[in-house]
Structure formats: structure tokens, C-alpha cells
């Protein structure tokens, strides 16, 4: 038999009942009339109007029941007063809470019960009920009728206007006092929230304040972390209990709080010992002296679940309306504290940590470096600053997408962090650049060990979602106090040393040296000068003829850009093209070259060589930048009326290695328009032949490294022969570059190569010289 728990407002309820002065009074026809009517209306053998006293149920009126009172513990009506609606038990023998009740197994052998509470100013003092010795049902219309009869009973109870007025006044006074108290507590809590700098102390203060104002209850705040609840505050609960619930998985049946956090709804458990939600936790609650638990979800402003606010009672108790309002208010205050703290924490993290990798950012790194220098100065030790730049990261980003690039940066940051010492620091500057601060160095050789370890770890494969990616790192190293004494100087030195590592072949580390500053200054000056070189008309194009080896006539020419620097003289493309690619100036320079070539070739085709083609070298970056890049060339050919057959795009294996759908589509558009494509430096890559399967080209150019050392007796002749045969099989024209001697020319011709290019025929010459050359060839 289940004993009904006490209402949470039991003292107030008993006080209101006693003020009615109705207990132990004589029977009254006005009430008997109602019970007789109820018995007839619902075809039940019994009907009563009863009042629930401290430990008894007393009957003011009863039909067919020869009792004046019963123990409260066995009364059905003690359950009824806990509810706002009609309480119905269709068959007591089928209900585990009542099947062994003494009034079920003994006279009057109750099998069916329906009751509704009787309220005086919101306090449930008793009930009107009907019951029978056979099972039954109760529909909505019957429930409404029983409720109406209960209202008549309540009207009879408060006919004494003085008593009614007094009770109403008392109730309103108590409501006002409760509202004032709740407002006072809420204001105190909000002030603590505003003044607190950390979360857990303010949550503890919230709990302490609530427990002090509302005696006889214990509070707990749990925070949702993923799918588990962690302890926010519960100072009055036993340590063993807090330890047990800390980290509990949320879900229906995981106690009151686990259920609330899972459903997002309030969970009221008035009897922990019997409630199914507490099946796995009831023994723990009993040990802690907890009998009831009411849990309210803590929600953010957008409705997201942040945790739960729970009130525990040592007795079995059901909350009143005021108490439900109270717990809702406390949960709201807790949500304000949690959201304020998390917002402050987010702002702090965003200001100090990189959002993607969660590493310290530049500002935090600089503060760490300052502290490291101060410590090293006191301890007479060294500090190394390592500037790490990932090799070819932009290519990975452009070809595989920013998602893959972000994955790589996260994985790389984790790999760096796991391969330095605990006392060292890694930070992300932005892009693919990282800084490692190596502290407390006694032996300079330790720097080499760490740098080599990082180089080796970063060069290993990175398994990403879309496959495996390889990269490497160029690391610049500078040492305090050997190289500089300030944070700014050390960072600048490390940056310059990193470029030194790039220059010697990447995947290496390089120490800062004094002459790097001069080289860095020269590099910056060259970049600055390059920006104005187009405006000042300092660039010019040379043309190296390409001869048809069968006819001996000029068929093509390769356009080669040069820079006539006003101070340094002629600057070759190997010195400025990489800088142009790095700074993004490559598009502007290449577009200028293309327009100049279009103007020249149109003139030459019209006056001298109608089938002349000019080969133009292209950079991978030109295929990425859309209308600012190479895609604009097709439009310009139409505007300038340059025949598409007059232009050959020279691409390298590097471009094909980095090619994505956009590159392939761009090349297809050019070939569809009539522009031919030549694969330059053929044979030097790892998989040149495989690219011929993926990308359709028109011309392959044998790299000059094969031609320079060609002879009848070495392997280079065989390689060149294979390339020529491959070209013939694939209907591709073949150009041999770098022919400088008659012997080389004879061998190349013997292989039936289509075209030859090199100093034997002509060095790169100016527009005027090329014009003179082809005009002479035409007249001769």
C-alpha cells in the first residue's frame, strides 16, 4: 500500500481546515443531500464528504458507510488532495498502490474510486468522492459533474462571510509576503551574479541564499556538458551523493535532474523511494536522507538546456503552486549566471585564442614571450623562437578546399603541441603560420633536437576526412639573447630565418643570421618596386624562336618576361616571379604580358608568318582567381581580334598536380576556343605520363636537362626517343628545349622530333630583333 506524501503546504492546509471549525461536528442535511445526489448520479454504492486532518480522515457526510473517521495513511482521499483534477482508480486490485489497502481487501471492499479535492482559498482541505465494490469507469462528463458538486460543497463551507473574508485576507497577505520575499531573494541573487567573476562560487551562493531563506530543503545546480551533468553547486548535499551524480548521463529515468535535462521539462518526484525514475538511485537518496526531488530545467535565452535546478526534501512532499513558481525563478537566475559567465569566457577566449586551433593567438604569445625572456634573464638560460610555416599550404587549400585546409591546420597544431615540452608554448599567428617558444634552454643542441623532431613529425601523412594529405614545414629559428633582446626583434628574426629555410628547399629549419636582415630588406624593396614596374613600363618581353626541324623555318616563339630595373638593371624571372606569386601580383604582370604578346603576334601573322604561334608561360595562381586571372584572356582575344590559334598556353606539371575541376574546366574552355596547350619541362616530374591521361594537351616540351647531356651512347637519347614516340602515338607535337650544339641538334632530328628551341638557333631576342629575323627569313 502506498501512503500519500504530505503536501508541501501541509501546515497552511491544516491551519485553514481547523479555521473552518467543521471537524467533529454533527451531520448536516445540506451536505448529506449532496452525497446522496452524488451516489445516485454516478450509480455508486458509497459517497462521502471528508476532511484530511493531521493523521485522520474525518467524514462530514457519508452514504452507506458506517464510519466516522479512518487513519489518514489508508485513505484514498489523502491522494486526492494532492491533485487539481478528479482522481480516479478504475480497479483497485489492478493498481499496485491500492491493491493491498485495508479498505480494499476488507469491508467496504472498494474496487472503484473517484474523488475531487475541496479547496478553501487554494488550500486542499478535503474531498468529495464516490466509490463502489465493483470496478468502474469515469468519463469527462462525469468528472465535470463531480467537480460541480464539489463547488457546491465549497460554497457551503464558506457561507460564513466573516470566515470567508478572513481566509481570503489571510491568503492574500501570505501571497503578498511570499511575492515580496521571492523578489528580495531574486534581487540578492542577481546582485551576486553581477559581482561574481567566476561561475562555481556564484552558483554556490545562489544555493546557499535559497536554503537560508527557505528552510527544510536542499538545493543543487547541475550543468549540462554534452550528454552528461556535472556538479555546479550542492553544498548541503553529502559529498558521496554529489560525487555519485557528478557526470551522470542524461535520459528518462536518470533521476529527476537527468530526466529534466533530457526532456527540457520540469520533473516532480514526491516519493523517491517508489518512483521509477529513481530506481537506480533510490538507495543513494535514502542514504543521503532525501525523500522528494523537484527539478526545473535551466534554459538559455534561446531555449537551449544549460542544466537543472533541483530542490530536495527530507520528507515525501508535493509542491504547491507558489513553490513551483519559486523553483522556476531560481532556475532563471541560475541561467543568467551561467550565460553571463559563458559569454565572458567566450569573449576572453576570442580575444586570446585562435578560434580554429584553440591555440594562443599573437597577443597572448607575445605576453608569454615577454615572461620567457624575463625568466631566461634571471636564470641565465636561452629562449628559442621558432617560426613555422607549412609548405605549399595554399595549394592544398585551393585544390582540396578550405574545409580540408582547416582540418590540416587543426591536426598540425595538435601534432606540434604534442611534440614540444610542457614548459614550451605554441601559438598560431594566422593562416598556416605558427610560433613555438622553447623555454629554459641550457644547451643550444636542444634546439636542434626539437626542430628536427617537428620537421619529421609534420612531414608524416595527415589522415583527413577526404583522404590523406602530405605537407612539410619550413622553420626559422632565432635565439635570445644571442640574436636580439626584444620580442619584436626576435619575431622579425624568426620570420626572416623561415624564409631562409624556404630558400634552401623547404622541409628544413634555418637559424637566423645577420645577413638575413639585409636580404629581407632587399626582398621587401623588390616587392615594392615590382608594384610600380608595370606603371613605369619597366617590364619587357623577349622572344625565343622555335624552329620546325623538318623545314628549318620559324614556327613558334616562346615569350619570356624580363624586368629592366632602374637601379639593379635586368632582373630575371627566377628572381621576381616567385615574389609576384607570393604577393598576388602575378595576375597583373601576366595580363600585361598577354596583351603585349597579342599585339605583337597579330602584327607578325599579318605581315610575315600567318601561322606563327607564341607560347606564354602561365602560373597556377592564374587559374584560381577567376576573371582577374587567365579567364579574362579569352575575352581579350575577341576584343583585340587575336586568332586563338596564335596563342599556346604553357603549363607545368606543378599546375597539373594541384589541378582541380576549375583548372580542368578552364583548360577545356581554352582548347574549345582553339587555343593550344603545351606541357612544359616534360619528363622531369614523377608522373608526367599519367597527367597526359587526365588532361588533354597539344604539345609536350622535352626538358632541356635531357638535351644538354644527350649523346648517342647515354640514356638521355633513349628517354628523348621515348618521349618523341609517345608524342607521335598520342598525336602530340614535341618540342626539344635547350639545343645548343650541332651534335645535339643532329641527334634530336634523328629522333624525328617536330620542333627545336635553344641557343643554337637563337637566344631570346627583343621584339625588334625578332621582327627583323622573321622579315629576313621571309625575303631570303
| pLDDT single digits (tens) 604-653 | 999 999 999 999 999 888 887 666 788 899 999 999 999 999 999 998 87
User: Around 107, how many Cα atoms within 13 Å sit in the side-chain half-sphere?
Assistant: 4
- Residue-wise pLDDT for 9-37, tens only, equals 999 999 999 988 899 999 999 899 999 99
Spatial separation of the C-alpha atoms in residues 746 and 712, rounded to whole Å: 10
SS3 string, 199-258, reads HHHHHHHHHHHHHHHCCCCEEEEEEEECCEEEEEECCCCCHHHHHHHCCEECCCCCHHHH
Lowest-confidence segment of 107-121, 236-250, 513-527 by average pLDDT:
513-527
What would the grid cell of residue 350 be?
576570442
pLDDT, average across residues 126-140? 95
3-state secondary structure of 312: strand
Contact 232, 223 (CB under 8 A): yes
Which stretches of 566-713 are assigned E, i.e. beta strand?
569-571, 613-617, 647-651, 676-682, 699-702
What would the grid cell of residue 677 be?
596547350
Spatial separation of the C-alpha atoms in residues 434 and 344, rounded to whole Å: 27
Q: How many CB atoms lie within 10 A of CB 196?
A: 18
What would the grid cell of residue 628 be?
582577374
Spatial separation of the C-alpha atoms in residues 464 and 552, rounded to whole Å: 54
pLDDT at 363: 87
pLDDT score of 188 more than 70: no
What would the grid cell of residue 529 be?
618596386
pLDDT at 47: 96
Q: At what angle do helices 515-533 and 487-503 cross, to 10 degrees?
A: 70
- Residue-wise pLDDT for 425-439, tens only, equals 999 988 899 999 999
Q: Which of 530, 515, 451 is nearest to 483 (CA)?
A: 515
Spatial separation of the C-alpha atoms in residues 483 and 476, rounded to whole Å: 13
Cis-peptide, bond into residue 108, ω within 30° of zero: yes
The backbone torsions φ and ψ at residue 531, rounded to the nearest 5 degrees and listed phi first, read: -65, -30
Using a CB cutoff of 8 Å and minimum separation of 24, what contacts does 439-446 make?
439/372, 439/375, 439/376, 439/381, 439/383, 440/375, 440/376, 440/379, 440/381, 440/383, 441/381, 441/382, 441/383, 441/384, 441/479, 442/381, 442/382, 444/382, 444/479
pLDDT score of 129 more than 50: yes
User: Around 764, how many Cα atoms within 13 Å sit in the side-chain half-sphere?
Assistant: 14
Q: β-strands 613-617, 554-565: how paired?
A: parallel
pLDDT at 470: 87
Evaluated on CA atoms 37, 40, 44, 45, the torsion sign reads positive
What single-letter DSSP state applies at residue 133?
A: S
Q: Which of 58, 664, 334 is nearest to 48 (CA)?
A: 58
Q: Which residue in the block uniquely carries the three cell numbers 583527413?
A: 464
SS3 string, 27-69, reads CCHHHHHHHHHHHHHCCCCEEEEEEECCCEEEEEEEECCCCCE
Q: Which residue in the block uniquely carries the three cell numbers 546582485?
A: 191
Spatial separation of the C-alpha atoms in residues 589 and 351, rounded to whole Å: 39
Instruction: Report CA 296 to chain centroid distance, whole Å.
Output: 29
Spatial separation of the C-alpha atoms in residues 703 and 698, rounded to whole Å: 16
What would the grid cell of residue 670 be?
581554352
pLDDT at 546: 97
- Residue-wise pLDDT for 214-230, tens only, equals 788 899 999 999 999 99
3-state secondary structure of 384: strand
pLDDT at 328: 86
pLDDT at 686: 47
Q: β-strands 755-756, 733-736: how paired?
A: parallel
Its pTM stands at 0.46
Q: Which of 653, 649, 681 is nearest to 757 (CA)?
A: 681
Q: Which residue in the block uniquely carries the three cell numbers 605583337?
A: 600
Contact 259, 279 (CB under 8 A): no
**Identity of the highest mean pLDDT range in 156-160, 175-179, 213-217, 269-273:** 269-273
Contact 701, 726 (CB under 8 A): no
pLDDT score of 213 more than 90: no
Higher pLDDT, 581 or 298: 298
pLDDT score of 394 more than 60: yes
H-only helix segments in 264-299: 282-288
pLDDT, average across residues 561-572? 91
Q: Which residue in the block uniquely carries the three cell numbers 482521499?
A: 77
pLDDT score of 408 more than 60: yes
Spatial separation of the C-alpha atoms in residues 290 and 516, rounded to whole Å: 73
pLDDT, average across residues 64-80? 94
- Give the model's confidence band at 687: pLDDT under 50 very low, under 70 low, under 90 confident, else very high: very low
pLDDT score of 182 more than 60: no
Amino acid at each position: 500500500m502506498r501512503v500519500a506524501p504530505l503536501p508541501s503546504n501541509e501546515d497552511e492546509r491544516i491551519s485553514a481546515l481547523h479555521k473552518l471549525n467543521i471537524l467533529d461536528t454533527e451531520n448536516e442535511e445540506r451536505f448529506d443531500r449532496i452525497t446522496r445526489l452524488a451516489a445516485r448520479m454516478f450509480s455508486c454504492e458509497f459517497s462521502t464528504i471528508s476532511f484530511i486532518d493531521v493523521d485522520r480522515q474525518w467524514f462530514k457526510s457519508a452514504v452507506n458507510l458506517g464510519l466516522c473517521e479512518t487513519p489518514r495513511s489508508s485513505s484514498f482521499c489523502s491522494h486526492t488532495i494532492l491533485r487539481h483534477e478528479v482522481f480516479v482508480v478504475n480497479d483497485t486490485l489492478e493498481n499496485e498502490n491500492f491493491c493491498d489497502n485495508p479498505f480494499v481487501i476488507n469491508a467496504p471492499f472498494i474496487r472503484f474510486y473517484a474523488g475531487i479535492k475541496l479547496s478553501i482559498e487554494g488550500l486542499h482541505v478535503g474531498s468529495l468522492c464516490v466509490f463502489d465494490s465493483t470496478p468502474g469507469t469515469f468519463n469527462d462528463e462525469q468528472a465535470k459533474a463531480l467537480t460541480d458538486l464539489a463547488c457546491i460543497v465549497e460554497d457551503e463551507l464558506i457561507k460564513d462571510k466573516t470566515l470567508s473574508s478572513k481566509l481570503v485576507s489571510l491568503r492574500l497577505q501570505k501571497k503578498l509576503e511570499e511575492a515580496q520575499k521571492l523578489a528580495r531573494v531574486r534581487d540578492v541573487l542577481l546582485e551576486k551574479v553581477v559581482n561574481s567573476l567566476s561561475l562555481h562560487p556564484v552558483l554556490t551562493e545562489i544555493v546557499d541564499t535559497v536554503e537560508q531563506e527557505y528552510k527544510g530543503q536542499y538545493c543543487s545546480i547541475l550543468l549540462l556538458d554534452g550528454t552528461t551533468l556535472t556538479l555546479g553547486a550542492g553544498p548541503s548535499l553529502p559529498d558521496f551523493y554529489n560525487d555519485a551524480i557528478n557526470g551522470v548521463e542524461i535520459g528518462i529515468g536518470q533521476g529527476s535532474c537527468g530526466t529534466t535535462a533530457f526532456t527540457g521539462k520540469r520533473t516532480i518526484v514526491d516519493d523517491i523511494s517508489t518512483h521509477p525514475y529513481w530506481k537506480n538511485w533510490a538507495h543513494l537518496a535514502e542514504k543521503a536522507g532525501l525523500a522528494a526531488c523537484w527539478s526545473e530545467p535551466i534554459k538559455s535565452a534561446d531555449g537551449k538546456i544549460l542544466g537543472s535546478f533541483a530542490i530536495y526534501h527530507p520528507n515525501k512532499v508535493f509542491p504547491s503552486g507558489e513553490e513551483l513558481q519559486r523553483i522556476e525563478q531560481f532556475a532563471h537566475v541560475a541561467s543568467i549566471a551561467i550565460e553571463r559567465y559563458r559569454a565572458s569566457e567566450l569573449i576572453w577566449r576570442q580575444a586570446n585564442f585562435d578560434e580554429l586551433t584553440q591555440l594562443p593567438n599573437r597577443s597572448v604569445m607575445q605576453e608569454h614571450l615577454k615572461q620567457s625572456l624575463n625568466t631566461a634573464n634571471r636564470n641565465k638560460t636561452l629562449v628559442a623562437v621558432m617560426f613555422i610555416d607549412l609548405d605549399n599550404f595554399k595549394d592544398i587549400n585551393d585544390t582540396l578546399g578550405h574545409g580540408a585546409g582547416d582540418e590540416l591546420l587543426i591536426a598540425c597544431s595538435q601534432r606540434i603541441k604534442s611534440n614540444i615540452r610542457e614548459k614550451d608554448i605554441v601559438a598560431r599567428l594566422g593562416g598556416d603560420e605558427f610560433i613555438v617558444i622553447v623555454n629554459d634552454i641550457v644547451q643550444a643542441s636542444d634546439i636542434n633536437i626539437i626542430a628536427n623532431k617537428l620537421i619529421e613529425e609534420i612531414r608524416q601523412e595527415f589522415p583527413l576526412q577526404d583522404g590523406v594529405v602530405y605537407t612539410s614545414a619550413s622553420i626559422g629559428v632565432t635565439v635570445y639573447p644571442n640574436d636580439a633582446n626584444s620580442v619584436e626583434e626576435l619575431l622579425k628574426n624568426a620570420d626572416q630565418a623561415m624564409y631562409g629555410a624556404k630558400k634552401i628547399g623547404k622541409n628544413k629549419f634555418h637559424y637566423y643570421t645577420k645577413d638575413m636582415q639585409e636580404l629581407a630588406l632587399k626582398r621587401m624593396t623588390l616587392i615594392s618596386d615590382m608594384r610600380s614596374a608595370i606603371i613605369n613600363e619597366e617590364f619587357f618581353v623577349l622572344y625565343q624562336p622555335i624552329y620546325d626541324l623538318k623545314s628549318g623555318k620559324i614556327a613558334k616563339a616562346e615569350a619570356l618576361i624580363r624586368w629592366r630595373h632602374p637601379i639593379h638593371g635586368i632582373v630575371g624571372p627566377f628572381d621576381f616571379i616567385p615574389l609576384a606569386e607570393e604577393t598576388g601580383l602575378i595576375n597583373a604582370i601576366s595580363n600585361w604580358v598577354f596583351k603585349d604578346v597579342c599585339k605583337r603576334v597579330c602584327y607578325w601573322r599579318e605581315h610575315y608568318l600567318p601561322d606563327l604561334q607564341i607560347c606564354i608561360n602561365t602560373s597556377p595562381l592564374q587559374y584560381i582567381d577567376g576573371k582577374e586571372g587567365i579567364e579574362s584572356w579569352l575575352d581579350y582575344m575577341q576584343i583585340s581580334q587575336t586568332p586563338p590559334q596564335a596563342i599556346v598556353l604553357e603549363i607545368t606539371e606543378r599546375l597539373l598536380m594541384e589541378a582541380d575541376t576549375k583548372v580542368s574546366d578552364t583548360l577545356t574552355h581554352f582548347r574549345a576556343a582553339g587555343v593550344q596547350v603545351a606541357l612544359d619541362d616534360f619528363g622531369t616530374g614523377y608522373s608526367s605520363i599519367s597527367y597526359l591521361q587526365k588532361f588533354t594537351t597539344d604539345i609536350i616540351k622535352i626538358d632541356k636537362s635531357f638535351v644538354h647531356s644527350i649523346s648517342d651512347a647515354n640514356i638521355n637519347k633513349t628517354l628523348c626517343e621515348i618521349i618523341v614516340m609517345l608524342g607521335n602515338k598520342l598525336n602530340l607535337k614535341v618540342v626539344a628545349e635547350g639545343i645548343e650544339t650541332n651534335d645535339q641538334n643532329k641527334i634530336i632530328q634523328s629522333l624525328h622530333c617536330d620542333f627545336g628551341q635553344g641557343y643554337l638557333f637563337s637566344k631570346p631576342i627583343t621584339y625588334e630583333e625578332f621582327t627583323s629575323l622573321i622579315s629576313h627569313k621571309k625575303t631570303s
